[in-house]
Structure 1
Amino acid sequence: MAIFPKILLKPEVEAYLSSIYKNDELVAAIGPLEAEQKYESLLNNLSHPPAFTTVRVNTHLASVQHIRSLLCEELHKQYASLNVPVLQHPQLPDILLIPVIGPRKDLQKLTNEVIVGAQCGSAVLRGAHIYAPGIVSASKFMKAGDLVSVYSDIEGKCKRGAKEFLGTKVFIGNGISELSRSEIFNSNGPLKGMGIKMIESIYLSPSFDNLLPSYLFLQNLPSSVVSYVLNPQPGERILDMCAAPGGKTTHLATLMHDEFFKMMTHLLAEGPPFLPESFDRILLDPPCSGMGQRPNMAYSWSLKEVTSYQPLQRKLFTVAVQLLKPKGILVYSTCTVTLSENEEQVAWALETFPCLQLQSQEPHIGREGMMGAGLSPEQLKQLQRFDPSEAVLQGMDFNSLQSVKYEDLISLANKDCIGFFIAKFIKVQ
C-alpha cells in the first residue's frame, strides 16, 4: 500500500503518457486490463525511490571486495548495528547494491514542521540530509537542536518563510534542525551548510554524505549498464557526446584503463570538431524529458516541453552516425519512458540510416522494448528498457531480506530501478 500519492502530472502530460502505455499494439498483445495495471503501477512507483541504492566502485584504488568491506563497516555505524546486506552485481562486477527499506509507517509526526521543495524532498528519500537553501518554511519557534518533521511541497505552492503551510504536503521523515528559523530566513547573505540532519526518513536509505568519496560513485543501475553495453576496448577512440556531469565517461575510462578520448558536445549547430568516421565507439546519452527519474512526486513540465526533445536527439544522432567508423558501435540511451524518445527513435534511425543495424546487448538485465513503434518482435528483444513498474521491496525489512536468495534480490534490483532505455547499433558500412 503506497503512502505517497502517485506522481503529479499536468493533465495533458498524463493523457500523453497514458496513450503510450495503452497504445493499440500493446493492448492487443496483453489486454486492456494488464495495460491499465502496468500504467497505474508506473505512476505510483515513479513517486517512490528505487528498491536499491547503487554505487560504482573505483577499482583503480582498491578491489571491489575491499571497498565492499569498508562500506559494510560504515553502514553498520549508520544503521545502528542493523545487518545491512551489500550485494555485488554478478553481471556488473564493479557495482554494489544496498537495499532501501520502506515506506515506514511507524514514524511519529512531530509538532515542529519544516517544508522543503519537491526536488529536495526527492533527495531526502534517497538518503540525503537537508541543506539550508532547500528549506522553504519552518515552524514559528523552531530553534537549532529541535526535532522536526519534514514535508515535501510537491505542488510548489508554499511561500518562502511561511510559518505554517496548509497546502498539499507529503511527510518524508524526521530530523534535527541545525539552524533556528531566524538564522534560515533572516540571514542577509547566501545560506550555506546543513539545515536539517535527517535521523529517520520514511525510506531507510543510506546517506553518502562524505561516505568513502574516493572509493564510491553514486550511479543508477541502468546508467552503469550503458558502459558495459558499449564495451570500450583499450586503444580505441571513444566519444561520449553528451558527457555532463560525466559519470558514464569516468566509467568508460575505468573499463578501458584510461586509454580513451571524450568530448562534451552541445554546440553541434556549428558543426562537430572532428572528421567523419573518427570514432570506434560512440555513446549518445542525449538530453531527454527525464520521465524515468525516481523518486519524483511532481513532474511540472508541460506537454510541449516533454515532446520537444525528439528533434534535438535526432540531430545529435545524425552527427553520431557521421562520426562513427565502419563496423563501429553506437549506443543510444535515455532516462525517460516515452516511446517518442526511445523505440520511435530506433525505428527512425533504422529507416534513415541503412548503414545501421541493431545489435543484441550484453549484459541484458532489463526488459525488451515496448510495442507501439512498429518494430518487430526480434528488434524489440535487442532493446533494453527499464520500467519502474514493480515496487518489489515495499513492506519488507532487513530481517525478512535475510531469507531472500541472492539471485532473487539481484532480480529485484534489475526490475525496481529508474526508468531507462538502451539501444545498440553497429555501422555495417
Structure 2
Amino acid sequence: MSFFPKILLQPEVEEYLGNMFRNKELISALGTLEAERKYESLLNRLSHPPAFTTVRVNTHLASVKQVKNLLFEEIHKQYKGLSVPVLQHPQLQDILLIPVIGPRKDLQKQSSEVIVGAQCGNSVLRGAHVFVPGIISASKFMKAGDVVSVYSDIEGKCKRGAKEFLGTKVFIGNGISELSRSEIFSSNGSLKGIGVRMTDPVYLSPSLDNVLSSYLFLQNLPSAVVSHVLNPQPGERILDMCAAPGGKTTHLATLMRDQGEVIAMDKIANKVKKIKQNAALLQLNCIKAFCCDGTKALAIGKKEDGQEGPPFSAESFDRILLDVPCSGMGQRPNMAYFWTLKEVMSYQPLQRKLFSMAVKLLKPGGTLVYSTCTITLSENEEQVAWALENFPCLQLQSQEPRIGGEGMMGAGLSLDQLKLLQRFDPSSVTSRGMDINSLQDSREEDLILLANKDCIGFFIAKFIKLNSK
C-alpha cells in the first residue's frame, strides 16, 4: 500500500497514459494483468520520492574519496547522529548515493497547520525547507517559533491567505515556523526566505543547499547516466543543445577533463546565465554558453571569420547531447500533474525540429544522444522509430553504462532495437519504505541495486551518424 495517493492527473491525460501502457504490443507480450500492474506501479511510484538522493562529484576539483568523506560528515550532522551511509556507485564512479529514510509513520500531527503548493510540497519531499513563496495558507494564530504540520495542496484548491483548509491535503512533515502568519501574508509577495524550517519531514533527505557547492551537483541518477553514455573525449567539440540549468553541460566538461569545447545553448537568457554561473562555480573553463533557439542553430551559407557562437556550420560537432524539452512526467516526487493532454502532446513536433537540426550539425562518425525525463511513448520510442525512418544516416548504438531497462513496446520497433534503448522503469521495486533498521541490515551491493531499480521516467537513445558520402 502506498503511503501517498498515486499521482493526480487530468482525466484526459490518465486515459491517454492508460491506453499507452495497455497498447496491443505490450498486452500481447505481457498479458493484460501484468501490463496493468506495471502501469499502476508507475503511477504510485511517481508520487513518491526516490529511495536515494544522488549527487555528482566535481572530479575536476576534488577526488571522489575526499568529497565522500566531507559529505558523510555533513549527513551525520543533519541526521543528528543516525548512521546513514554515503555510497559510491560502482558503474558511475563520480556518483554518490545517500539513502532516503521514510516514509516515517510515527510523526505527531500538530494543530497549527501550513498549506503549501504542490510544487513546494514536492521539494520538501526531496529535502528542502519551505520557502515563503510556496506558502498558501497558515493557521489563524500561527507565530514565529511555533511547531507546525505542513501539508501539500495537491488539487490546487486552497485560497491564498486562508486561515483553514478542509480540502484534499497530504501531510509531508513537521517544522518550525520562521515567521508569523501576519508577516507571511502582509508581505505582498516580497519575502523570499525560509518560512518553515523542516525538522521532521515524512521523508528524511539531506538538505544540500550551499553544501560543498563547488564539489557537488545534485542530479538524478538517470540524468548522470546520459553524459556517460555520450562519452565525450578530451579535445572534442561537444554541443549541448538544450542545456539549462547546466547539470549535464558541466558533467560533460568534467568527463573531458576541461579539455576541448562544450557549447551550451538555451533560448532563455536567464537560463543561460545560470549555466554560466554553474560553470564558474565548478571552475570549468571549456564551457561556452549562448542564448539561442536550437531549431535555428544551423548557419545558412558560410560563417563569418571569428564568429564563435551560433548559428554553427553543418557537421561541426563531434558529439551532440539532445536532452529535449518534454512533458516532464518522469520527474518525482510528483503528487499532482496539472497539464492538459494538449500540453502533453505539444512537445513531439518541437522535439523533431530539434532532432533534425542536431543531425545536420553532427559530423559523420559522430555520436548523438537523445534523452527525455518523461514516460510517454510519443516522446521516446516513437521518436526513435521516426528518426530511423527519416535519417538513413543514423544507426542505433549500444549504451554503456546500462542501468535502465530496454525500450517499451508499442512504437513498432524490433526487439533488437528496443534492447539498444534505455528506459528507467520502477516496476520491479516494491513500495516499502526504507527505515533506519532495514538500512543497517542491508549490504552495500543490495542498496546500490535498489538505487538502480528505483530510477524512473527517463529515456536515452544513442545514435551514430554514418558517413554517407
Q: For residues 251-400 of structure 1, what are the structure 2 equivalents within 5 Å?
A: 251-258=251-258, 259-266=260-267, 267-272=293-298, 273-392=311-430, 394-400=432-438
Amino acid at match of 2:386: W
Q: In structure 1, how many angstroms separate the alpha carbons of the residues matched to 2:328 and 2:189?
A: 33
Shift of 1:239: 0.3
Matched, 1:184 2:184: yes
**What is the rounded CA distance, in whole Å, between the counterparts of 1:367 and 1:37 in structure 2?**
17
Correspondence list, 1:29-428, <5 A = 29-188=29-188, 190-258=190-258, 259-266=260-267, 267-272=293-298, 273-392=311-430, 394-428=432-466
In the superposition, relative to structure 1, how do residues 14 and 282 fare at CA in structure 2: closer, same or farther (>3 Å)? same
The letter for the 1-side match of 2:389 is: E
Contact 2:322 2:368 (C-alpha < 8 Å) held by counterparts: yes
- After superposition, the Cα gap between the structure-2 partners of 1:274 and 1:364, relative to the gap in structure 1 and judged at 3 Å, is same
CA gap 1:392/1:218 in 2 versus in 1, 3 angstroms: farther
Checking the alignment, whether the CA contact within 8 Å between 2:153 and 2:170 is kept in structure 1 is yes
Asked if 2 retains the 8 angstrom alpha-carbon contact of 1:101 and 1:393, the reply is no
Give how far 1:265 is off.
Answer: 4.5
Counterpart contact for 1:51–1:392, Cα < 8 Å: no
C-alpha change, 1:66 and 1:111, in structure 2 (3 Å) is same
Q: Hey, what's the Cα distance between the residues in 2 that align with 1:265 and 1:140?
A: 44
Structure 2 gap segments, 5+ residues each: 268-292, 299-310
Matched-pair identity in %: 78
Displacement of 1:188: 4.6
How far 1:162 sits from its partner (Å)? 0.4
Distance 1:168 1:384 in 2: 37
3-state SS, counterpart of residue 54 of structure 2: strand
Shift of 1:198: 0.1
Distance 1:205 1:335 in 2: 22
Aligned residue for 1:402, secondary structure, equals helix
Letter in 2 for 1:382: L
* Deviation readout 1:36-83 (Å, 9 max, x if unpaired): 011011111100001110000111221101110111111111111111
Q: Is the 8 A contact 2:2 2:431 kept in 1?
A: no
Deviations, residues 235-275 of structure 1 (Å, cap 9, x unaligned): 11100000111100000000001122213154245452011
Q: CA deviation at 1:208?
A: 1.0
Are 2:242 and 2:265, in contact at CA under 8 Å, matched by a contact in 1?
Answer: yes
**1:262 partner letter:** I
Q: 1:415 deviation in Å?
A: 1.3
Contact 1:176 1:196 in 2 (8 A): yes
Q: SS of the counterpart of 2:152? A: strand
Asked if structure 1 preserves the Cα contact closer than 8 Å seen for 2:295 and 2:354, the reply is no
SS of match in other structure, 2:264: coil
Call closer, same or farther: CA 1:209–1:301 in 2, change over 3 Å. Answer: same
CA distance in 2, matches of 1:269, 1:46: 31
The TM-score normalised by the length of structure 2 is 0.90
Q: How many Å apart are 1:303 and its aligned residue? A: 0.3
Q: Say which SS state the counterpart of residue 198 (structure 2) adopts.
A: strand
- Secondary structure at 2:17's aligned position in 1? helix
1:335–1:421 contact (8 Å) kept in structure 2: yes
Distance 2:463 2:189 in 1: 52
CA displacement, residues 353-380 of structure 1 (integer Å, 9 cap, x when unaligned): 0000000000011000001111111111
Q: 1:189 Cα deviation (Å)? A: 6.2
RMSD: 1.2
Measured after TM superposition, the shift of residue 85 of structure 1 is: 1.1
Secondary structure of 1:262's aligned partner? strand
Aligned to 2:303: none
CA displacement 1:365-413 (0-9 Å, x = unmatched): 1000001111111111110001233544733322222322222211111
Structure 1: any 5+ residue segments left out of the alignment? none
Whether the 8 Å contact between 1:132 and 1:194 is mirrored in structure 2 is: yes
Assess, with a 3 A threshold, how the Cα gap between structure 1 residues 54 and 271 changes in structure 2: closer, same or farther.
closer
Letter in 1 for 2:185: F
